[in-house]
Amino acid sequence: MEQILFTEQAPTRTLTLPNGKEACMSYREECGAALLTVTVAYTGAFGMGERYNALNQKGHTVVNRVEEHFCFQGEHTYCPAPFFWTDSGLGLYVDTDRETSFEFGEDSIRISMPTGTQVIIFTGAPAEMIQGYQALFGPVKLPPRWAFGPWISANRWNTQAEAEAQLEKLTAEGFPATVLVLEAWSDEATFYIWNGAKYTPVSGGAPLRYEDFDFSSSPWPDPKGMVNKLHERGLHLVLWQIPVYKQLGPDEEPNEQNALDRADVELRGLGVHNADETPYTIPEGHWFAGSMIPDYTNPETVKSWFSKRRYLLDMGVDGFKTDGGEFIYSPAALFHDGTSGLEGKNRYAQSYTSAYSNFLGKNKVLFSRAGYTGAHTTPIHWAGDQQSQNTELKSALTAGLSAALTGIPFWSFDIAGFAGPLPSLDLYRRATQLACFCPVMQWHSEPDGGQFKELMPGGEGNNERSPWNMAAAYHEPGFTAEMRFWHWLRINLMPYLWSVAQDCAESGRPMMRPPVYEWPEDPQAVACDDAFLLGDALLVAPLLNEGRISRSVYLPAGAWVGLFDCAHYEGGQSVEAGGDGKIPVFLRAGHGVALDLGGKQTLGMPLERGSAEGG
């Protein structure tokens, strides 16, 4: 790793790369901006955060900017990073929170950045360059073991009765799960009080305790008892969060606690602010317009914000789903630490998740959409919102692989998409099989009355993406049993997943590793953008097209064995695999996979209760 501050007095630098080739860098300033040109022979450029458009960014211009973009993200991203590496052994990090642009040309890379920006150069193998980048921000944080079991989620679960009904459905349908996510749990005004709870509002930023609430007329009559019941059944509870002091709309019921909290923000300056010290608010036309934004660079904000949420941890909540974080739209916005919206546009998302991660401590989980440099220190991340279409499945996979090549080891996506009409059974099948081999396996869906109300025939107004609802909607009862196999296979894989996760935390290696990560000298591995190693042992080749039951898979050098059919293959060639209703997965020779079979001898079979809890 070499730190370089280019100036007009020192505008050039030449580096010799591990392969003996050279990288030449030239710098110039014009119109208050800086342009760094890196001339290097390369075939692929990887990283740049979670990118949906392509895994290899050669031929693309990539803008380093946090953005909220609902579905079909394309060139947009919730989680960028001004860091890339190439198959030629050169990596580069532009040390700025401000917007930058990277033009990956045929034989040169042009970087537009603020003047006075330090550039950090890495050379070596992909793992070495990624580890060098990670070391700038701190070690990988390891989620708890139970986070690697199946997750269940649906925005429509808005009562305790509905949430607890999921326990009965899991039992009735014979499915395992280790995490239940609730999005529609709060009052939608403060986002820290259970909906319908009665209490005496408090002023001055004072927190409420669990004992201060009367839940007798709430749709959540005993949330602490519900948490205990979930824990008894081996499930852990994750609650949705959003970083706003909400501006209630004209059609929403007034909320005194919301008003008191907003008054406290103005009085004590706890929010992001404007030059005249008035609170910065989200502009019209954006999600949560008019809302104030907590300033997590202010220690008093952090203290106040999390004191109000402490009772949730005290009652046994196991983590938070930190949505949003892309709310800085004005470069004139100001923060407590002296930075402006020019930096905050990107940095805010990471300060938000970092604050939550610090609050949660160990043995809890964070599940975040947005982030920035250092995102590996605040896992887990998920790919945001996609519609239930095949192109979106490929987009999500690309996002996960590019995130992995930016050093983000723990990642997830919503099985078969979160939004729109129900996915086809074929899309749901292929997405479930892919998710089974991703760091986190989760199904989730938008509200029944959300932006897409049109449902496939048979949905009966229920937009839930549970396997049993999919089976009912399409009148295919056998589909539930088919999906049950993959959820229990996930439980079978838990020992292996946990060992890989621990190695990730120790070594910085991502769980998902596209072939270029291991074989950057192999042109076919560099070109492969739709398969990945899960840890060292398993090569996973998702089926991404409707109706596809097999596909061509490039197997790098070495010997490989089909996980499901035990067929033997020699590497260094492409083979046609699949056709048995299962995603092509290969075991790498010389490696083993620890499994929990519960005394059974067959993959995907239900285990005794307790084996599915995931630790």
Q: Which of 99, 323, 446, 518 is catalytic?
A: 323
DSSP letter assigned to residue 71: S
The secondary structure element, H or E, covering residue 1 is none
The secondary structure element, H or E, covering residue 179 is strand 179-182
Quote the CA–CA distance of 9 and 17 in Å, as a whole number: 24
Closest CA to 66 of 405, 329, 353: 329
326 is a catalytic site residue = yes
Contacts 24+ apart (CB under 8 A), 504-508: 504/140, 504/142, 504/409, 504/410, 505/139, 505/140, 505/141, 505/142, 505/409, 507/127, 507/131, 508/127, 508/130, 508/131, 508/134, 508/135, 508/139, 508/140, 508/376, 508/407, 508/409
- Greatest Cα-to-Cα distance within the chain, rounded to the nearest angstrom: 73
Quote the CA–CA distance of 60 and 105 in Å, as a whole number: 7
Report yes or no: 85 and 109 within 8 Å, Cβ to Cβ: no
Quote the CA–CA distance of 85 and 406 in Å, as a whole number: 9
Q: Which of 326, 343, 392, 522 is catalytic?
A: 326
Evaluated on CA atoms 515, 520, 522, 524, the torsion sign reads positive
Q: Which of 164, 385, 529, 613 is catalytic?
A: 385
Evaluated on CA atoms 615, 242, 84, 51, the torsion sign reads positive
DSSP string, 18-55: TTS-EEEEEEEEETTEEEEEEE---S-EEEEES-SS-S
Report yes or no: 55 and 401 within 8 Å, Cβ to Cβ: yes
29 is a catalytic site residue = no
Report yes or no: 419 and 450 within 8 Å, Cβ to Cβ: yes
Quote the CA–CA distance of 293 and 244 in Å, as a whole number: 5
Closest CA to 309 of 374, 252, 366: 366
385 is a catalytic site residue = yes
Report yes or no: 441 and 413 within 8 Å, Cβ to Cβ: no
Quote the CA–CA distance of 131 and 140 in Å, as a whole number: 10
Residues with a catalytic annotation lie at 323, 326, 385
